[in-house]
Copies of this chain bind each other. A is one copy, B any other.
């Protein structure tokens, strides 16, 4: 799953659906829509939004994600909002009195990803800003999901919670690939021959300036200098710049 997998509404049939249950502030609905689209998700459902629907503040705060707002589906109850889904996660910090383990979002994601590959219809419930989900909402969940945060400061804005879950859902594959084979980026680089030329010029200039006070230490100093310049991943242009600097400094006075 990547941001490319989920992109436009017409391709989005199998996307996990973000379901905001009794959201209070239109601003937060808009910010959640923006966060979803940042991660390439676009399917939003609302259950009994406090201030009705449509909501001007949601549109204003969606910062260009109005498409997500326009396509949002509104339901009166959680039961209706999840009726056509196959797998429902509830996001919560508590285990409630329901006998379900609480998984971290990272632990939940591989399962959601696998379910997505099987074209399962998946929804993720987020509770109201102040109170979170209630037991009556939780009962529709197959599983509970929590975002593992600082235990002494867990309180997260609704849109921030949607952002983190959306990001982790859509980037999990990437995060696992990174560890296995992060591909080094390659800059345009000077040839070793060009670097040799630079090092020879530097050695000559340093010899003439009396830099090497100990003949014994000279080879290791040159080796370290060479290593330092090698680490710079110099381009041909960089090599010319350094050659110019050495020449200018050496010709001084």
Cα distance, A37 to B157, chains bound together (Å): 13
Chain B positions within 8 Å of A157 at CB level: 31, 34, 63
A210 to chain B, nearest CB (A): 7
Q: Mark A33-45, 1 if CB is under 8 A from B, else 0.
A: 0110111100000
Tell me if A7 and B152 are in contact (CB < 8 A): yes
- A167 interface hit (Cβ, 8 Å): yes
Q: Give how many copies assemble into the complex.
A: 2
Given contacts A149-B38, A164-B167, contact A209 B248 (CB under 8 A): yes
Chain B positions within 8 Å of A176 at CB level: 175-176, 178-179
Q: Which of A17-50 contact B (CB under 8 A)?
A: 31, 34-35, 37-40
Tell me if A64 and B224 are in contact (CB < 8 A): no
Residue of B nearest to A205 (CB): B249
A67 to chain B, nearest CB (A): 9
- A137 interface hit (Cβ, 8 Å): no
Given contacts A179-B179, A187-B99, contact A206 B248 (CB under 8 A): yes
Cα distance, A141 to B226, chains bound together (Å): 23
Partner of A238 from the list B106, B150, B228 (CB cut-off 8 Å) is B228
Q: Mark A163-205, 1 if CB is under 8 A from B, else 0.
A: 1100100010011101111100101000000000000001001
Tell me if A175 and B174 are in contact (CB < 8 A): no
Partner of A64 from the list B153, B160, B229, B246 (CB cut-off 8 Å) is B153
User: What are 26 residue pairs bridging A and B, where the CB atoms are less than 8 Å apart in the complex?
Assistant: A4-B151, A34-B157, A39-B150, A40-B150, A63-B155, A63-B157, A99-B235, A99-B238, A101-B187, A103-B185, A106-B171, A106-B178, A107-B178, A107-B182, A110-B178, A148-B174, A159-B160, A160-B163, A179-B179, A205-B252, A206-B245, A208-B252, A211-B249, A228-B234, A231-B231, A231-B233
